[in-house]
Structure 1
Amino acid sequence: MKEKSGKVFRRTAILAACLLPLWSQPALAERIKDLATIQGVRNNQLLGYGIVVGLDNTGDQTTQTPFTTQAIGNMLSQMGLNLTPEQSQKLQLKNVAAVMVTASLPAYARPGQPIDVTVSSMGNAKSLRGGTLLMTQMKGADGQVYAMAQGNVVVGGAGASSGGSKVTVNHLSAGRIPAGATVERAVPTAVGQGGMVYYELSSTDFGTAQKVVDAINLASQPGTAQAIDGRRIAVRVPDDADARVAFLGRVDNLEVQPVLGAAKVIVNSRNGSVVMNQKVTLEACAVAHGNLSVVVDAAQPQFGQGADIQVKQDNGSLMSVKAGASLAEVVKALNALGANPMDLLAILQAMKAAGALRAELEVI
């Protein structure tokens, strides 16, 4: 008996020794660069109107998109080919499509650097597959030209039609041109004023802001960082450019354990998805839900019968939902109801109104 007890004790000790590293593991931390951005370091949106040529009879129907014909006429006139108004109206160019070209100009981009662009049809073109974008000016919000785009459009899809049948895989009215634009003008990016750089958290949280300040001061010296509010943090940086870049590189890679925000449940009413964080809890409550269904029995014309339409409602019984103090318990309690995601939306709203859902409910 003693030998058996000794074996059980040894097994228990081994199991505890194996689980001890898991229990002693610290919570996951995130880098400051994943939690915040430097004020002033941002992307700038670019926009342009262009023409895609070389399509296989899948371009715009120019009689319904007059702006395509006008753009072709303006382009040809710049090349010395002048068309009369009558000739312009008779153009039927099914291998041409008018498009909008968009791009994001990254911070510190310099003239000559390539950037990716997205090409989207703005007419009634069936597909941009196999087309080539002609030289297009990319302008910023101030109306200045910051890049020039041109190249072959890459469309991640395919389609075919025959005899009135049509099959399409993915979206054919938009595509991308990797490195399709060249930067022509740089955007001045001023980082910091008076020897200070400002970090902005992605979400307002006073606890996380204080932890970022403590991490920066611990890695450098006290007083280097100071929280202005729950979102902005002022950091004193060296005056020398090389030293400033090295200092910011070290700050970006400092690890901070962020404070988890308020309990929140996000419900997408369009597709029925429900997402909740680990702070969500439930109080004990009772829930009843039912399903309303409409059954239509197809008519049989040969017998002169009409369609049989029935409306059925399944009366749901009152079910008890146990209180849950953790995310796993909340999920288990909601799954016990047997409700689909769309029914769950109404149930969660009712739970929130009744005070049983201890979380902020947000519907998007």
Structure 2
Amino acid sequence: MKTFRRCPHWILALLMVAPGLVTVPEVEAARLKDVVEIEGVRDNPLTGFGLVVGLNGSGDSSAAFTNQSLKMMLERMGISADQQVKVKNVASVMVTATLPPFARQGSKLDVMISSLGDAKTLQGGTLILTPLKGADGRIYAVAQGPLIVGGFSAGGGGASQQKNHPTVGRISAGATVEKEIEFELNKEQQLQLSLRNPDFTTANRIVQSINDVFGKPLASARDSGTIALVIPPDYQGKVVNFVSRLESVQIDPDQRARVVLNERTGTIVMGENVRVSTVALAHGGLSIKIREEPRVSQPNARSQGATVVTPGGAVSAEEKDARVLEMPEGVTLGDLVRGLNGVGVTPRDLIAILQSIKAAGALQADLEIL
């Protein structure tokens, strides 16, 4: 049965460009697959060191490791090279890729290539066969192919122009999986779920929802971020079917009350559970204007004095009327926003006000400043 909530967590983005409260339509509860990860079913990063050749004089100019790597590569091909070899058409690069779960031999992976030396651009280059290793030091894939660079760099005669990052490239399906990660999902008797955002209330709701759907006490919470799950006898050897049904279970996640402020952009994001204790808020401003008025002193025509310019000026101060707003205990997010909008605050002022309320101990939420 589908459940609906009036206001989901973390979807109220209060872009304070105009007064008023942002309204959000009713949406469906979150699926279990969007809240948890299955232990053992995850991506694995791969890295490797390689050489890009075929550059039009835009490769590394003085990187010692590039010359050494080039020399070693030529020696493996049976070609004797001088230790002082320098080729500007070659660049040393780091090759990165992500090995998805259950990838099999022969599967293709996308790879990213990033320059290590002082190469100007990798445009037009080709990556030479590069082994990609995992965290355990084993080779899981090999990469090779022509690069696609999403930018360019051109110049001459003291003038140059650059777009994006020409020292970073990509090869679509440029790596081939050579070694599989041993993990047989159908042989598992139990599964362990890890919450992406650990929370005791969310973990308890997940356990109740799973047990209600399957009609058996299959799930139990170990802590706020881990749920142990027993695979029922009907799904032994058919774990994929069990996980497929498990992923569609509807969950109502809960989060700690939090307010996120971005001082650079003036963006404010609040959770629905933000509460404010009894507090009185006064908002006003002081405007000071300083105007220079130089005075010219003209001497008498009979005297031998010189014309003198003396500094002068006027200082005026204007204090805007401040309005005091009393906010009773336990006000909601909507009450808070409507009250602050009633005072006529700007996004910058609202950030300062929320910081002051938090410092006074009246804001019952975590305050995070980006």
**TM > 0.5:** yes
Map of 1:233-272 to 2, 5 A cutoff? 233-238=227-232, 242-259=237-254, 261-268=255-262
Distance 1:121 1:79 in 2: 24
Q: For residues 47-126 of structure 1, what are the structure 2 equivalents within 5 Å?
A: 47-61=47-61, 63=62, 65-85=63-83, 87-88=84-85, 91=86, 93-126=87-120
Q: Deviations over 1:303-335 (max 9, x none)?
A: xxxxxxxxxx99887554564944455445556
Report sequence identity in percent. 41
Higher share in strand: 2
Matched with 2:167 is 173
Residue 110 of structure 2 contacts residue 174 of structure 2 at CA under 8 Å; is this kept in 1?
yes
Give structure 1 stretches of 5+ with no counterpart.
1-24, 294-312
Alpha-carbon distance in structure 1 between the residues aligned to 2:252 and 2:73: 57
Q: Give 1:174 deviation, angstroms.
A: 1.1
User: What is the aligned partner in structure 1 of residue 204 from structure 2?
Assistant: 210
State how far apart, in whole Å, the 1-side matches of 2:190 and 2:164 are: 48
Indicate how the Cα distance of structure 1 residues 94 and 284 shifts in structure 2: closer, same or farther if over 3 A, else same.
farther
Identify the residue that residue 338 of structure 1 maps to in structure 2: 346
- Give me the CA root mean square deviation: 3.1
Q: Give the partner amino acid of 2:282.
A: A
Q: Which has the higher contact order (CA 8 A, sep 6+)?
A: 2
Is residue 275 from structure 1 mapped to residue 264 from structure 2 by the alignment? Answer: no
Task: Kindly indicate whether residue 344 of structure 2 is the aligned counterpart of residue 348 of structure 1.
Answer: no
Deviation of 1:250 after TM superposition, in Å, equals 0.4
Q: 3-state DSSP class of the match of 2:65?
A: helix
Task: Look up the equivalent residue of 2:345 and give its one-letter code.
Answer: L
Equivalent residue for 2:282?
286
Cα offset for 1:180?
1.0
Tell me how far 1:147 sits from its aligned partner.
Answer: 0.5
Unaligned runs of 5+ in 2: 1-24, 290-316
Report whether the alignment pairs 1:361 with 2:356. Answer: no
Query: Aligned pair in 2 of structure 1 residues 174, 329: CA closer, same or farther (>3 Å)?
Result: farther
Mapped partners of 2:267, 2:155: distance in 1: 34
Name 2:215's counterpart in structure 1.
221
- Asked if structure 2 preserves the Cα contact closer than 8 Å seen for 1:281 and 1:323, the reply is no
CA deviations on 1:196-233 (whole Å, 9 max, x unpaired) are 21111111122222221222112212212222222211
Superposed CA offset, 1:121-157 (max 9, x none)? 1111121222111100101111111100111212222
| TM-score, scaled to structure 1 | 0.76
Give TM-score scaled by structure 2 length.
0.74
Equivalent residue, structure 2, for 1:136? 130
Q: Is the 8 A contact 1:238 1:244 kept in 2?
A: no
Change (3 A) 1:319 1:48: farther
What residue number does 2:38 align with?
A: 38
